[in-house]
Amino acid sequence: MRIADKMQYNQVQKNISKNRTDMADLQNQAATQRRINKPSDDPLATTRVLASRTEEKTNAQFVKNINQAKSFLEFSDQSLSELTELLVRAKELAISQSNDASANAQSRAMTAKEIEQIYNQAVQIGNRKLGERYIFSGFKTQTMPFDISGEYSGDDGDLKIQTQKDQFLAVNLPGSKIFMGKGFEVDGMIRPGQITPQSIDDLEGIKQRELESKELYQEDQDSKILLRGPASTGSSNQIGDKDPTNGDTGVNIFQVIKGLEVSLKTNDKTGIQSAMDLIDQSVSQVVLGRSEVGSRIMAINGSQDSLQKAIVDNKIVASQLEDADVFKLVSDINKTDAALKATLDTSGKMIQPSLLDFLR
């Protein structure tokens, strides 16, 4: 083949520029420590990197959510444990005043004072706040749930927090359930609404169902007969049974304590004895509530562990996809460097001599 001068120059230029381009590319990879610096470097991997980054950040948000939920649940648990202690103390007092051998009208009147204190403390527990939020008032976190007469002004809302991609968890127990005994399941358990609406259409459906059940409830309420005063309300309550007076399936703790206090004040021995049963029921109601809280804490601990693992996994996936293999990179750089030097060396030899250099 006939070799013209320009061919040589073109070739030299092309080769040097190719080696330099390779080198610049490798250097860029080394500097960023990344194999992918723009989508066209590896389109498929780029999309997977983006997806895994989204997941990583969302998971980090879920971890935040979980921490928030945990402090809420733990605070609820602590409050309920205090409530249990109060109830146990009330029971002790009731036992001590339940027979005439160890008690009389005077001691009962004295004990009534302590029970009043216990009642006040129970109301205070019902009004506990975590930060700026009442924990037992459902959605109405800015409204004090219980006044001193034990009237509830919160609602039955479940504060739901997203702990995983498709998982929502209620973090609160509405006071209406745990204190007032309303809205229990047939087995006496407290459960949040099972379905968490994830779209407006879900929400509309749920609202519709709520409306229907409210109407049923109202009908139910209207057919009830009001019985005697507060001392006897809830007296026939058994867990799982509906109270004929108000249709509740649990007991109203405030009324139970109030009832004990009234019985003590009026020196009503049978009243005190029946109150003991009710206190037992109250304790088991609170304990069931605590077990619900405990099981939720366990559930989110599990979520947290799996999230932490997922975060690490995601980092690994993204790293495998986008990070440069440093050993390979260094060896590639050395190879390219050698090639570049060889190109420069041979280029010098190739360009230099022509016949003219030998003519003298």
CA separation for the pair 283, 109 (Å, rounded) = 24
d(CA 94, CA 86): 12
> Which 284-323 residues touch another protein, going by CB under 8 A?
322
Cβ pair 165, 187 in contact under 8 A: no
Longest dimension (CA), the chain: 141
Assess 76 for contact with another protein (CB under 8 A). Answer: no
Question: Hey, what are 331's tokens?
Answer: 């060896």
The one-letter code for the residue type at 202 is D
Please spell the DSSP secondary structure of 35-62, one letter per residue: S-SSGGG-HHHHHHHHHHHHHHHHHHHH
| Residue ranges of E strands in the chain | 129-130, 133-134, 160-164, 167-170
Select from 22-30, 48-56, 115-123, 234-242 the region that touches another protein (CB under 8 A): 48-56
Burial label, 63 (beta-carbon count in 10 A; 0-12, 13-18, 19+): middle
Give the residue carrying structure tokens 């405990």.
294
By CB under 8 A, is residue 6 in contact with another protein? yes
Least Å distance, CB 283 to another protein, is 28
Mark 340-359 with x for binding to another protein (rule: CB under 8 A) and - for no binding.
--------------xxx--x
Sequence-separated (6 or more) residues with CB below 8 Å from residue 54: none
Q: What is the C-alpha to C-alpha distance for residues 170 and 75, in angstroms, rounded to an integer?
A: 14
Is residue 10 involved in binding another protein (CB under 8 A)?
yes
Which of 6-14, 91-99, 105-113, 246-254 is the region at the interface with another protein (rule: CB under 8 A)? Answer: 6-14
Among 53, 89, 242, 269, binds another protein (CB under 8 A): 53
Q: Does 96 bind another protein (CB under 8 A)?
A: no
Site string for another protein, 218-257 (x = CB under 8 A): ----------------------------------------
In degrees rounded to 5, what are phi and psi of residue 155? -135, -175
Tell the smallest beta-carbon distance from residue 120 to another protein (Å).
25
Of 119-127, 177-185, 201-209, 242-250, which part binds another protein (CB under 8 A)? Answer: 201-209
- In this complex, which beta carbon is closest to another protein, that of residue 197 or of residue 294? 197
Among 23, 96, 107, 139, the residue binding another protein under the rule CB under 8 A is 139
- By the criterion CB under 8 A, which residues form the site for another protein? 1-7, 10-11, 14, 32, 34, 36-44, 46-47, 49-51, 53-54, 57-58, 61-62, 64-65, 68, 132-133, 137-142, 155, 157, 159-162, 165-166, 168, 196-200, 202-204, 207, 322, 354-356, 359
